[in-house]
Amino acid sequence: MLPEAFLSRMRQQLGEEYPAFLESLERPRAVALRFRPGKGAPPELPFVTGQVPWEPMGRYYSPDARPGLHPFHEAGVYYLQEASAMAPVTLLDPQPGERICDLCAAPGGKSTQIAGRMAGQGFLLCNEVNPKRAKILSRNVERMGVSNALVTNEHPQTLARHLPEWFDRVLVDAPCSGEGMFRKEEAAVTDWSPETVQMCARRQGEILNSAAALLRPGGRLVYSTCTFAPEEDEGAVAVFLESHPEFEPETVAAPWFVPGENGSCRMWPHKLLGEGHFAAVLRKVGGEEREIGYQAGERLPKPWETFVRETGISLPNGQGVTFGSRLFWVPEGTPELKGLRVMRPGLELGELKKERLEPAHALALWLRDCANTVCYPWDSRELAGFLHGEVLPIHRRGWCLVQADGYSIGWGKGDGTVLKNHYPKGLRR
């Protein structure tokens, strides 16, 4: 049951399209996932049904399937993401080598999509203000094998003070009244009220002010919501442009979406296979890029070098840093982040334990291959046993990367008779 106040607003907003809109809310929703880009084409999976037109790696899947339970999900082969929710990153158009900030990032759908487009090159800052949600974000960034992203847990204003005009692109996927998610989440309906819409619009204005400060002249800002409320969509953009003459709307060619004023467009559930969304693309005028000092990398300790020699792995552009006994690889060009709450400084390489290196699960998920690898079919007894935490009866020595159909999923350590299980206890089935 949808609130009468909401229905009456929609009737007014949509006019003669209102019955088609209402009817679309009665239909079962389309479900989708997005593959992590890899060397070859994504795997062919029986539950995948069609292409999401605006995201090359996006696919619809059959509503009876449970892809979240498939081992490929844990291996970061794909991310379950609503199809319309893939649109803002298409409009942001991230490029390898850029500096990008996803300001309201948890649980990480758009961050991991941006990372896919950056192909491991450049610097991605994924920020989430809510500490619990920031942990989930970190976990998803790790699961999707991202090497060039940091996760922070900060208020947007704090980030803006630390990194003024630093980013080439900023995404604000704002907290909103969630009207576009009414078909997907019951809580979105029960939490809704006209007052929520007003409160969200105020908060969105504040977040946009911080986003404006983070963006360099010439950079692109994408603002998106999953609500139909004009106060939070076109209204929020109009208020922003009034107080920020340094921004102008950009015209974006996106034939799947309904274009609106000020560089905005709408995704309507009665016009495409997806939920309700809104996005606007704005540009900060000017074009001079500001130089900023880089933090110097450390030489990583000997056990890491031994591990690299034994496994034959090579890391992307970046630098090593240590936090206590833990080793991380931070993207090239990472700015000074002292004073910020950093949840994940980069790709976790491993932990030093008594002068030995124990490789991190995150490293396994990022790696495509290494010198010592064992691969099982995704539906094999052995892989199911590994995901349960069982020892594998194979004669290997040293750290060994375990794969499901060629997709890395965790570490085992061989002593010549069995492979000890190092799949994280918290993830075991």
Q: Which is nearer to ligand SAM, 156 or 263 (CB)?
A: 156
Site for ligand SAM in 80-99 (CB under 6 A): 85
Known catalytic residue: 101? no
Kindly state the tokens that stand for 383.
Answer: 């892989």
Q: Among 67, 71, 108, 276, indicate the residue that binds ligand SAM (CB under 6 A).
A: 108
Q: Compute how many residues bind ligand SAM; rule: CB under 6 A.
A: 17
* Catalytic residue selected from 101, 126, 200, 226: 226
Q: Which is nearer to ligand SAM, 164 or 406 (CB)?
A: 164
243 binds ligand SAM per the rule CB under 6 A = no
Q: Among 42, 67, 122, 175, indicate the residue that binds ligand SAM (CB under 6 A).
A: 175
Kindly state the tokens that stand for 143.
Answer: 């699961």
Task: Spell out the residues 6+ positions from residue 242 whose beta carbon is closer than 8 angstroms to its own.
Answer: none
Q: Which is nearer to ligand SAM, 130 or 417 (CB)?
A: 130
φ, ψ (nearest 5 deg) of residue 141: -65, -40
Taking phi over 0 as left and psi of -120 to 50 as alpha, with beta for the rest, 143 belongs to alpha
Minimum distance, C-beta of residue 414 to ligand SAM, in the bound complex (Å): 38
Binding letters toward ligand SAM, positions 150-169, x by CB under 6 A: ------x-------------
Segment near ligand SAM (CB under 6 A), from 59-67, 101-109, 303-311, 413-421? 101-109
122 binds ligand SAM per the rule CB under 6 A = no
Q: Among 99, 110, 277, 284, indicate the residue that binds ligand SAM (CB under 6 A).
A: 110
CA distances (Å), 100 to each of 191, 278, 317, 389, in order? 32, 20, 16, 37
Are 266 and 254 spatial neighbours (Cβ–Cβ below 8 Å)?
Answer: no
Segment near ligand SAM (CB under 6 A), from 122-130, 234-242, 298-306, 361-369? 122-130
133 binds ligand SAM per the rule CB under 6 A = yes
Q: Residue 324: how many CB atoms within 10 A of its CB?
A: 7
What whole-number distance in Å separates Cα of residue 153 and Cα of residue 145? 20
Q: Which is nearer to ligand SAM, 109 or 303 (CB)?
A: 109
343 binds ligand SAM per the rule CB under 6 A = no
104 binds ligand SAM per the rule CB under 6 A = yes
173 binds ligand SAM per the rule CB under 6 A = yes
342 binds ligand SAM per the rule CB under 6 A = no
Are 210 and 103 spatial neighbours (Cβ–Cβ below 8 Å)?
Answer: yes
Minimum distance, C-beta of residue 83 to ligand SAM, in the bound complex (Å): 13
Q: Among 51, 130, 190, 325, indicate the residue that binds ligand SAM (CB under 6 A).
A: 130
Q: Which of 282, 280, 269 is nearest to 84 (CA)?
A: 269
Helix/strand/coil for 17: helix
Q: Which of 158, 165, 232, 244 is nearest to 197 (CA)?
A: 232
Q: Which of 311, 396, 344, 378 is nearest to 75 (CA)?
A: 378
Cα-based angle 182, 187, 192 (whole degrees, multiple of 5): 70
129 binds ligand SAM per the rule CB under 6 A = yes
Parallel, antiparallel, or unpaired: how do β-strands 167-173 and 149-152 relate? Answer: unpaired
Segment near ligand SAM (CB under 6 A), from 108-116, 145-153, 243-251, 295-303? 108-116
Q: Among 70, 162, 203, 326, indicate the residue that binds ligand SAM (CB under 6 A).
A: 203
Task: Spell out the residues 6+ positions from residue 120 whose beta carbon is closer than 8 angstroms to its own.
Answer: 96, 146, 147, 148, 316
Known catalytic residues? 226
Binding site for ligand SAM (CB under 6 A): 85, 104-110, 128-130, 133, 156, 173, 175, 203, 207
